[in-house]
Structure 1
Amino acid sequence: MPTVFLLSDLRVVICPNDHRPAHVHVIGKGCEAVFHLHCPSGPPQLRGNYDFGARDLIRIIEGLSARLTDLCTEWRTIHGPD
């Protein structure tokens, strides 16, 4: 899975053969979470969490929100327009 960007020690990934709606996987620390992006205006929303703690999830949402425009652009580049 290609890493779109790093959020500290966590990988933010968009899978090339994945399904809609636009979303990212956040992977690291032996955990994974999936967030719908709600492009183009957000906010990112947690879809599934596999072992991240509440503090990590808050930090992840803040990081994704700060890069939302870039993430939506990258999703469209990989998957085409909605």
Structure 2
Amino acid sequence: MSEQDDDKREFDLRWVDGAEHKEPSARARMLAARWKDNPPGPVPFRADAEHRGRRSSGRSSWVSTVVILGCVAAVIVLLGYAHIGPY
């Protein structure tokens, strides 16, 4: 094929968007077939309190932050004592 034929066959998004009928995706067809006989029940926007994971009082996030900062400080001190670097 020549380049002129390729230019004529260039994909035109306006033509595609203007299509009268758009085929649903495979997943949409599968779910429509499944729900035809057995429709899903209502699902709340947010999970109920009993289904959500339980968090402690927020203390664990501070503990993990302190542990990470402590490790970074320890590595800096150790590198300072080991004289690793361009000195």
One fold, TM greater than 0.5? no
Q: Which has the higher helix share?
A: 2
- Measured against the shorter chain, the TM-score band is under 0.3
Q: TM-score, normalised by structure 1?
A: 0.20
Q: Please, what TM-score do these two structures have when normalized by structure 2? A: 0.19
Higher strand fraction (1 or 2): 1
